[in-house]
Amino acid sequence: MVVLDGKETSAKIRAELAEQVKALKADGGKVPHLAAILVGEDGASRTYVNAKVRDCEEVGFGSTLIKLPAETTQEGLLKAINKLNNDEDVDGYIVQLPLPKHIDETAVLMAVDPKKDVDGFHPQNVGRMTLGLPTYIPATPMGIVELLRRYEVPTEGKDCVVIGRSHIVGSPMSILLSQHNYPGNCTVTLCHSRTKNLEEICRKADIIVAALGRPGFVTADMVKEGACVIDVGITRVDDASKKSGFRLLGDVDFHAVASKCSFITPVPGGVGPMTRAALMMNTMKVTELGQA
């Protein structure tokens, strides 16, 4: 059993990006600049955005963090987005999700300039991803694909089950793994809350990608011997014994499942760090493609 170490792999990616930034500077090129908009004080979102800022500093990117109060109107947020769309110094930016309930998330994502949409959520970028054209791929699926590539996980001809159909993870993951590429060439089954006989479907899978946000959902009796299991879930659970006051749980019962796997990602330290690394890779891609 091989643990797919996202923490170690993401560190290697950041080191590679740092070297690319040095080369850009030496050639007089523009250093990538990533901005982020954070609305409200959601604890997980704040922690995640702060980590992205640190990643930018480590790699050598420019970074800007725009904090808006939770009561910010949709109009106010759209004004901030428009300002970033027209800021020539900002190469790419993200609007951290989730947003307060009074804001239409779709309207916000549609307002982002596709050329600066390093989250890969705009329909134009989703369409290009579906067609296999150069674009920004959503960070979590991109991070997973990169992790599979670097560990040389076999995917061609494999039966893959993706649990969860979100536009952020499940749906793009199913597309990427079915494409004529590596990692890819899988036969993919996309499962969700209406799927019947989910346990039986999972037991036939060579690769399981669990992305539904239910701690410990994937149990040992759902996984066949030798399967590769990718755990996307990350749920905060109160734990007074921890300094932070909480612990993180994935969608997979890691301790019960790991011994049956050929490859498995841990939580924390698996997909999460790779998501951040993929965002950095997308930001570098802005400069490479000359799209800023």
Residue 221: pLDDT over 80: yes
Per-residue confidence at 191, pLDDT binned at 50, 70, 90?
very high
Whether 92 has a pLDDT exceeding 70, the answer reads yes
Is the CB of residue 292 less than 8 Å from the CB of residue 116? yes
Question: Is residue 74 scored above 90 in pLDDT?
Answer: yes
Round the average pLDDT of the chain to a whole number and report it.
94
Question: So what CATH class is 28-113?
Answer: alpha beta
Predicted local confidence at residue 239, as pLDDT = 83
Write the pLDDT tens digit of every residue in 41-50. Answer: 877 788 888 8
3 state SS for the chain: CEECCHHHHHHHHHHHHHHHHHHHHHCCCCCCEEEEEEECCCHHHHHHHHHHHHHHHHHCCEEEEEEECCCCCHHHHHHHHHHHHCCCCCCEEEECCCCCCCCCHHHHHHHCCHHHECCCCCHHHHHHHHCCCCCCCCHHHHHHHHHHHHCCCCCCCCEEEEECCCCCCHHHHHHHHHCCCCCCCCEEEEECCCCCCHHHHHHCCCEEEECCCCCCCECHHHCCCCEEEEECCCEEEECCCCCCCEEEECCECHHHHHHHEEEECCCCCCHHHHHHHHHHHHHHHHHHHCCC
pLDDT score at 143: 98
The length of the chain, given as a count of residues:
292
What pLDDT, on a 0 to 100 scale, did the predictor assign at position 148? 98
pLDDT of residue 125: 96
Q: Does domain 139-272 have CATH number 3.40.50.720?
A: yes
Q: pLDDT tens digit string along 113-159?
A: 999 999 999 999 999 999 999 999 999 999 999 999 999 999 999 99
Answer whether 28-113 and 139-272 agree in fold: yes
Is 291 a residue whose pLDDT tops 70?
A: no
Residue spans per domain, the chain = 28-113, 139-272
Q: What percent of the chain clears pLDDT 70, i.e. is strictly above it?
A: 98
Angle among Cα 77, 81, 83 to the nearest 5 degrees reads 115
Query: What does the pLDDT look like over 133-142, one tens digit per residue?
Result: 999 999 999 9
Residue where the block lists tokens 């659970």: 237
pLDDT band at 290 (very low <50, low <70, confident <90, very high): low
At 205-218, the pLDDT tens digits run 999 999 999 999 99
264, pLDDT greater than 90: yes
Which residues are designated catalytic? Answer: 52, 96, 119
pLDDT of residue 42: 79
Percent of all residues in the chain with a pLDDT value above 90, rounded to a whole number: 87
Neighbouring residues of 8: CB distance < 8 A, sequence distance ≥ 6: none
Q: What is the pLDDT of residue 292?
A: 41
pLDDT at 86 over 60: yes
